[in-house]
Amino acid sequence: MRSWQIEAPVFPEIITIEFVKQYVQYIAKVAETGDCEIAHSREDSLFFIILEAIAQNKCENPMECCVEAIKTSQIEFARYCS
């Protein structure tokens, strides 16, 4: 399976821990395809989504969401800038 064939979770109005867990799983699936650039991009996107939701008071439980999002650091893929 290619990274572009994996369906990303739909962004909810309010960011929940369930959404973050789904998105972390999505990143893991993308990483399994070997597409490190997309996995890294999605990881960055998740962090920005959570930060923006916290700033706009649209994050159900900011601390739990952050703790869950940081778990992406345990997913093995190359993280680099080009």
Tokens of 67: 């703790």
In the chain, % of residues over pLDDT 70: 96
7 part of a folded domain:
no
- Residue 35 falls within a domain, yes or no? yes
Q: Which residue in 49, 45, 43 sits closest to 28, CA to CA?
A: 43
Q: Is residue 1, in this structure, part of any structural domain at all?
A: no
CB neighbours (10 Å) of residue 12? 12
- Does residue 54 fall inside a structural domain? yes
Interval 64-82 mean pLDDT: 91
How much is the pTM?
0.91
Q: Is residue 24 part of a domain?
A: yes
Does residue 6 lie in a domain region? no
Report the number of distinct structural domains present in the chain. Answer: 1
Assign 80 a pLDDT band (cuts: 50, 70, 90): confident
| Residues constituting the chain | 82
Q: How far apart are CA 70 and CA 55, in angstroms?
A: 18
Q: Mean pLDDT over all residues of the chain?
A: 93
pLDDT at 82: 53
Write out the residue range of the structural domain in which residue 66 sits.
Answer: 20-74
Kindly state whether residue 69 falls inside one of the protein's structural domains: yes
Nearest-angstrom CA–CA distance, 35 and 13 = 29
* Amino acid symbol at 45: S
